[in-house]
Structure 1
């Protein structure tokens, strides 16, 4: 028996999915946020197929360091190996399926199941059991019963991703040209980034796609939903996104990044002038490293989602994963990311700023959570669930006069990224494998 997790053979199909997701005409239906049958398909065709963020390398620097997380609703352990590599195992004993690790993080020489005493080393190998003699009498082969590994693990600029699907493209292919933009946060200084302050966990009674889509490109809500909070944090008026001379919405295979080029618009709402000063101080070195264009992105008004559920806010420097817990509930994992080279007092100001703004009691997160929950709850109604929801802003706004990578659209007040996100969602639910995904862009610089 292989310790590599087998690919799930999905043969089910959803009938009339076009009725609830019609990207060509800029509409979706609320049913996609509440329907149990759709959710079950998402677990199989998206979360058991796509590359998912599982850890930052700074969380597990040494042999035996681990964090526990989930991939969809599958619980996993991410652990550093003796050779410096990283493995990801199902957090389930292969005897009866009991969890072998109940801690969120730590350092260990191995794991022991509480149920029957099966023990595993850092490599995931089964090394012992309670009453081991009875297994030997049954011709039991320990080599075949280690912890089950995911199919692929890889990292990019300190971000660790994993996939259950051995047929998935490489992580580099999966991220594609979006890495060019992500460097503005994760590689703007020598030494890269690290997570500080631990993981903030909270729950919301909302669908995971509502939250992920909000970050993929919905700056539209900020000027209304967050206006009073932004004014309170800034102590006065707030710049209008529509007034920015230059801003973009960029997407690729469901990933989306919307951003202005104002350098410090996001970080400003943390209310810490020292952070603004820090970004302006490093900006010349960022320009030398990444070019002038991306040096203007480092703390600008922006947001990003890597399909399906990994999001971040540059400047505010919060990184989060929207973990599905059913069609109408999520568990939100949030971290604060900083440059390793930043002074300690700057790192601490970012941590405290995140607590004030994007934490369960943060002035912005409470606004968002209420909206997301009611967007989900209304979809419970039979008639309301069938109602068309408009996502047509920015039709025909693709930029044809740019050398920027990916699919580039003019302006942030644009739903091009949302349409691309739901198109990728729709394509995955209609495909039985990666090979069946239509119009795949992997390895190219522009969508056809």
Structure 2
């Protein structure tokens, strides 16, 4: 239900990608090392805005946030302010939140319902929800015979598409389709997005906060760093669960990491490990009570992932925790700052009391005052700050854990590694980062990916 063609008649300008082989070389695949400068260098950050955030498919919204024509939300694609709005034909468009006259915002609020349009408060230029210029203040431009309204409008996002209710956009008109961008990783996304026939929705609004860190630290954390939980989050888990608990003892030997195109997920198949840390036993019972139904729909492996200790990142900056229903975007605001947007995703068919417990669980764990978020935020901030030292920045970071953990005989889609206590998905994440920096064409980017194709599977069987 998305529409990349709802655009003004003017031809927008989308900057072309370049090539930054020197930056790409800062990821040393053979030694499993990453140069610390990728986290603190302004020139590298500016290249990321062009090479990655100017081309990749980026998360915009959930369709449940904008159910009716004129409903809209504001978000960011990189540092570009964007309005995502439901069109009158039911489809979805997205436009730069910047007046083509002097560049002022045309929308100042975070979201709204049934808007008829957007007006720049500088000179009174008004735009329809389809991005077209409807008129000006009527005193000058509308009386100018050389002024052509049809040639001016809000710049559209080149492509907008949705997958299972999640809306994404890309500024690159030549980018592959959203499903091609995901590839076989959709098999893992469906753990959260398709475990119930009623689909999903966001509830409770959006929690926004700022963290003084580089955007890649949280993205790589969620792509596959369960290792930190056994140390960083030990005391927080004990506080929630009401006593001493050895998180490491709950690690499941069937755990694995999967990566496709830099997207990655790690999980240990323990059914309710993450759900338990929300602190509401009723949620554990709910997840376990649905296990057989989800197994029939998605198969045993994915049924065990629904509430498990697991985390996921869709490259580059969209992450979620399946077991805790927490979804977030790490919006870059410079090499040493992010704006963090957080939502709670639930199945539409959940009982209302269960939805409310998930919402409260998000507040307890992964909100600005959450017991786990405070731990993570402090770590990411000190990682960023420590790497700024002149001598420190020239020391390489080690990403070599689990280099012999590959599971070539696995029937699961993507690059699969046994166990999740390793750096496998982080290595894939930075390999993809380097490919985006190195190549200026999608053809080269597609050929660079070495993920095995999806194995033939039915929905209910692995």
Shorter-chain TM band: over 0.9
1:49 is matched with 55
Answer yes or no: is the 8 Å Cα contact 1:173–1:442 preserved in 2: no
Deviates more, 1:395-404 or 1:330-339: 395-404
Answer yes or no: is the 8 Å Cα contact 1:219–1:412 preserved in 2: yes
2:174 is matched with 167
Answer yes or no: is the 8 Å Cα contact 1:127–1:142 preserved in 2: yes
Distance 1:293 1:14 in 2: 39
Number of residue pairs the alignment of both structures matches: 445
Answer yes or no: is the 8 Å Cα contact 1:173–1:443 preserved in 2: no
Distance 1:442 1:156 in 2: 21
The correspondence of residues 398-417 of structure 1 with structure 2, limited to 5 A, is: 398-417=406-425
SS of the residue 1:364 aligns to:
helix
Output one character per residue of 1:113-167: Cα deviation in whole Å (capped at 9) or x when no partner.
1011111111111111113554442421111112111110000011000000011
TM-score with structure 1 setting the length: 0.96
Q: Equivalent of 2:454, from 437, 441, 445?
A: 445
Residue 441 of structure 1, CA deviation: 5.4
Output one character per residue of 1:184-234: Cα deviation in whole Å (capped at 9) or x when no partner.
111111111110110000001100000100000001100000011111112
1:358/1:4 CA distance change after superposition, 3 Å = farther
SS of the residue 1:111 aligns to:
strand
Structure 2 residues without counterparts, runs of 5 or longer: 1-7, 456-462
Distance 1:361 1:3 in 2: 46
Distance 1:374 1:362 in 2: 18
Residue 417 of structure 1, CA deviation: 0.4
**Pairwise CA RMSD of aligned residues?**
1.6
State whether structure 2 residue 81 is matched by structure 1 residue 75. yes
1:442/1:261 CA distance change after superposition, 3 Å = closer
The correspondence of residues 18-417 of structure 1 with structure 2, limited to 5 A, is: 18=25, 20-107=26-113, 108-131=115-138, 133-235=140-242, 236-240=244-248, 243-417=251-425
Instruction: Give every structure 1 segment of 4 or more consecutive aligned residues whose post-TM-superposition deviation is greater than 3 Å.
Output: 1-5, 132-136, 440-444
Distance 2:280 2:416 in 1: 32
2:3 is matched with none
Answer yes or no: is the 8 Å Cα contact 1:69–1:77 preserved in 2: yes
Distance 1:134 1:396 in 2: 67
Output one character per residue of 1:331-350: Cα deviation in whole Å (capped at 9) or x when no partner.
00000111110011111111
Distance 2:80 2:23 in 1: 28
1:87/1:423 CA distance change after superposition, 3 Å = same
TM-score with structure 2 setting the length: 0.93
Answer yes or no: is the 8 Å Cα contact 1:241–1:412 preserved in 2: no
SS of the residue 1:32 aligns to:
helix
Distance 1:193 1:133 in 2: 48
Distance 2:57 2:249 in 1: 32
1:104/1:4 CA distance change after superposition, 3 Å = farther
SS of the residue 1:177 aligns to:
helix
Distance 2:159 2:23 in 1: 33
Output one character per residue of 1:326-368: Cα deviation in whole Å (capped at 9) or x when no partner.
0000000000111110011111111111101100010000000
Answer yes or no: is the 8 Å Cα contact 1:319–1:334 preserved in 2: yes
SS of the residue 2:73 aligns to:
strand
Answer yes or no: is the 8 Å Cα contact 2:74–2:109 preserved in 1: yes
Residue 2 of structure 1, CA deviation: 4.9
1:4/1:350 CA distance change after superposition, 3 Å = farther
SS of the residue 2:360 aligns to:
helix
Structure 1 residues without counterparts, runs of 5 or longer: none
SS of the residue 1:296 aligns to:
helix
1:388/1:242 CA distance change after superposition, 3 Å = farther
Q: Equivalent of 2:437, from 425, 429, 435?
A: 429
1:147/1:268 CA distance change after superposition, 3 Å = same
Output one character per residue of 1:239-297: Cα deviation in whole Å (capped at 9) or x when no partner.
42674120110001110000011110001001100110111111111111111221111
Distance 2:374 2:192 in 1: 25
1:239/1:11 CA distance change after superposition, 3 Å = closer
1:423/1:2 CA distance change after superposition, 3 Å = farther
Answer yes or no: is the 8 Å Cα contact 1:256–1:306 preserved in 2: yes
Output one character per residue of 1:32-80: Cα deviation in whole Å (capped at 9) or x when no partner.
1100000000000000000000000000001100000000000000000
